[in-house]
């Protein structure tokens, strides 16, 4: 079965390749998505390293003049997805959405450098792009009180429908949003997707961005939705480390120094999201001060090396172990012991292999191979049983959402089979 899955993973990466960029899944997601692409590159590295580099270049090529790398790049028209380029109206070439996504790019760059696939001018260009993007987060997405990184739309977090966004999203006025036709529910079961009410508010936030002329620094001050996220902050910490490492190897010492400085400030920001009662970092609604009510999967990035002081990391590890007892497959996107947990609904409970990959990467760096192995073994079992789906039930392992998914295939090749890049060191 394992070998057969290897072949299937390679076939998915080839089939979802649109020439220079990959789509997350044919039909459901027909454009280039930001963090999907960074993970895809790590999958392509196992088939065709040149193609892996190109994936990152097409993504970086869509960078805005202000430094933001957008969450979707619309290289070609496709009627199969809503909201498309006309709705976002970003005015960019190529057309893009107007928000960002978790910054996995530098993590992919560093891994390609380590494997000997990326160097010279092409490397320098990518490092400069990643550095400008990381810098942009400090100007356009920083919580002035904690120094943690915020999102102006649930879609920015990549964990779109996570319950901790609910309150802030409910406060968004969607009364003026004109009727529209969703496309996602034509591809997958509506019971697994966000509700229509949530979708209306997603669109209201897009319209708010357009009305501001997509001025990202202004949006940080005025957007009704502005929530600090341990996920975004933790991933940016990993990305700053990766950037410092790759820039150091490339001899770009100023750039490496800037990344290290930002990393130190982000670690403080991550720590400021610690919730003593919860024993975990949680979201913070910057507009109201309200905190997330439960533990989401990304909190476990805090188990990574140097993210939290020892006593807090130990408390967080106890929460990890409690959840690990409750589910068959780690890591559920939301705490299974709370009322808001939904086993099959998008980002309200199911397991995503790319989240597992990031959490396990942190655990390994911290020397916690025991918990990292639990995550890897569960990830392997999910794919062996269910194939390459978008996400899975943490209870039954049932495959859910879209099929033949690019980042799940990449996670299989690089994280499950390739042991997180350890084979390449």
Q: Site for ligand 2M8 (CB under 6 A): which residue of 21, 35, 357, 392?
A: 35
From the CB of 332, what's the least distance to ligand 2M8, in Å?
Answer: 15
From the CB of 416, what's the least distance to ligand 2M8, in Å?
Answer: 18
Q: Which is nearer to ligand 2M8, 235 or 242 (CB)?
A: 235
Is 39 a residue that touches ligand 2M8 (CB under 6 A)?
no
**Which of 271, 294, 298 shows the shortest CA–CA distance to 359?**
298
Interaction mask 167-196, ligand 2M8, x per CB under 6 A = -----------------x------------
Q: Which is nearer to ligand 2M8, 247 or 413 (CB)?
A: 413
Q: Which is nearer to ligand 2M8, 182 or 315 (CB)?
A: 182
Is 388 a residue that touches ligand 2M8 (CB under 6 A)?
no
Q: Can 160 be counted among the known catalytic residues?
A: yes
- Taking the CA atoms of residue 172, residue 177, residue 181 and residue 186 in that order, the dihedral angle to the nearest 10 degrees is 10
Distances (CA, A) of 402 to 170, 184, 256, 399: 27, 10, 39, 9
**Which of 294, 404, 289 shows the shortest CA–CA distance to 348?**
294
Is 274 a residue that touches ligand 2M8 (CB under 6 A)?
no
CA distance 171 to 273: 22
From the CB of 348, what's the least distance to ligand 2M8, in Å?
Answer: 12
Q: Site for ligand 2M8 (CB under 6 A): which residue of 158, 234, 349, 399?
A: 158
Q: How do 150-151 and 227-228 pair as beta strands? A: antiparallel
CA distance 373 to 360: 8
Q: Which is nearer to ligand 2M8, 267 or 298 (CB)?
A: 298
Q: Which is nearer to ligand 2M8, 166 or 373 (CB)?
A: 166
Point out which span in 50-58, 155-163, 218-226, 317-325 binds ligand 2M8 (CB under 6 A). Answer: 155-163
Q: Can 164 be counted among the known catalytic residues?
A: no
Point out which span in 30-38, 113-121, 236-244, 357-365 binds ligand 2M8 (CB under 6 A). Answer: 30-38
Of 160, 166, 373, 385, catalytic? 160
Interaction mask 56-85, ligand 2M8, x per CB under 6 A = ---------------x--------------
Contact criterion met (CB below 8 Å) for 334 and 365: no
Of 17, 245, 390, 414, catalytic? 390
Q: Site for ligand 2M8 (CB under 6 A): which residue of 24, 85, 163, 399?
A: 24
Helix extents (H) in 329-415: 353-365, 369-386, 406-411
**Which of 329, 333, 351, 353 shows the shortest CA–CA distance to 341?**
333
Q: Site for ligand 2M8 (CB under 6 A): which residue of 21, 29, 214, 300?
A: 29
Q: Which is nearer to ligand 2M8, 71 or 134 (CB)?
A: 71
Point out which span in 31-39, 44-52, 325-333, 334-342 binds ligand 2M8 (CB under 6 A). Answer: 31-39
Q: Which is nearer to ligand 2M8, 109 or 188 (CB)?
A: 188
Binding-site size for ligand 2M8 (CB under 6 A) equals 10
Cβ within 8 Å of residue 116, ≥6 positions away = none
Q: Which is nearer to ligand 2M8, 71 or 262 (CB)?
A: 71
To the nearest 10 degrees (0 to 180), the angle between helices 253-272 and 230-249 is 160
- Helix (H) or strand (E) run with residue 73 in it: strand 72-73
How many CB atoms are closer than 10 A to CB 176?
7
229: left (phi over 0), alpha (psi -120 to 50) or beta: beta
Contact criterion met (CB below 8 Å) for 160 and 35: no
DSSP string, 209-252: HHHTTT-HHHHHHH-S--EE-HHHHHHHHHHHHHHHHHHHHTT-
Residues with catalytic roles: 160, 390
Residues near ligand 2M8 (CB under 6 A) are: 24, 29, 33, 35-36, 71, 155, 158, 160, 184
């Amino acid at each position: 079965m394992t070998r057969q899955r290897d072949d299937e993973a390679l076939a998915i990466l080839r089939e979802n390749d649109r020439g220079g960029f990959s789509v997350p899944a044919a039909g459901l997601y027909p454009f280039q998505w930001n963090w999907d692409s960074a993970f895809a590159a790590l999958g392509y590295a196992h088939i065709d390293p040149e193609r892996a580099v190109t994936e990152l270049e097409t993504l970086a090529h869509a960078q805005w003049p202000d430094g933001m790398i957008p969450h979707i790049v619309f290289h070609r028209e496709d009627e199969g997805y809503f909201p498309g380029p006309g709705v976002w109206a970003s005015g960019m070439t190529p057309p893009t959405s107007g928000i960002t996504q978790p910054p996995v790019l530098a993590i992919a760059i560093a891994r390609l450098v380590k494997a000997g696939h990326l160097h010279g001018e092409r490397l320098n260009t990518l490092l400069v792009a990643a550095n400008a993007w990381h810098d942009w987060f400090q100007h356009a997405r920083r919580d002035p009180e904690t120094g943690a990184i915020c999102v102006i739309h649930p879609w920015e977090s990549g964990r779109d429908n996570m319950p901790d966004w609910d309150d802030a999203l409910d406060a968004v006025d969607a009364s003026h949003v004109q009727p529209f036709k969703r496309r996602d529910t034509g591809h997958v079961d509506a019971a697994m997707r966000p509700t229509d009410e949530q979708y209306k508010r997603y669109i209201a936030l897009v319209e708010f961005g357009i009305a501001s002329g997509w001025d990202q620094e202004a949006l940080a001050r005025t957007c009704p939705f502005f929530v600090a996220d341990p996920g975004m902050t933790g991933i940016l910490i990993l990305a700053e480390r990766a950037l410092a490492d790759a820039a150091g190897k490339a001899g770009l010492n100023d750039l490496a120094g800037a990344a290290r400085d930002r990393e130190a400030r982000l670690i403080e920001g991550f720590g400021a999201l610690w919730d003593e009662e919860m024993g975990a970092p949680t979201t913070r609604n910057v507009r109201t001060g309200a905190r997330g009510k439960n533990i989401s999967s990304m909190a476990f990035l805090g188990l990574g090396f140097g993210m939290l002081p020892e006593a807090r990391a130990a408390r967080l590890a106890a929460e990890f172990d409690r959840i690990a007892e409750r589910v068959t497959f780690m890591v559920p996107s939301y705490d299974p012991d709370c009322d808001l947990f939904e086993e099959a609904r998008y980002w309200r409970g199911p397991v995503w292999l790319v989240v597992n990959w990031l959490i396990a990467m942190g655990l390994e760096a911290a020397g916690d191979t025991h918990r990292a192995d639990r995550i890897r073994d569960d990830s392997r079992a999910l794919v062996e049983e269910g194939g390459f789906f978008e996400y899975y039930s943490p209870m039954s392992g049932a495959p859910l959402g879209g099929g033949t998914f690019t980042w799940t295939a990449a996670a299989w090749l690089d994280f499950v089979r390739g042991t997180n890049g350890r084979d390449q060191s």
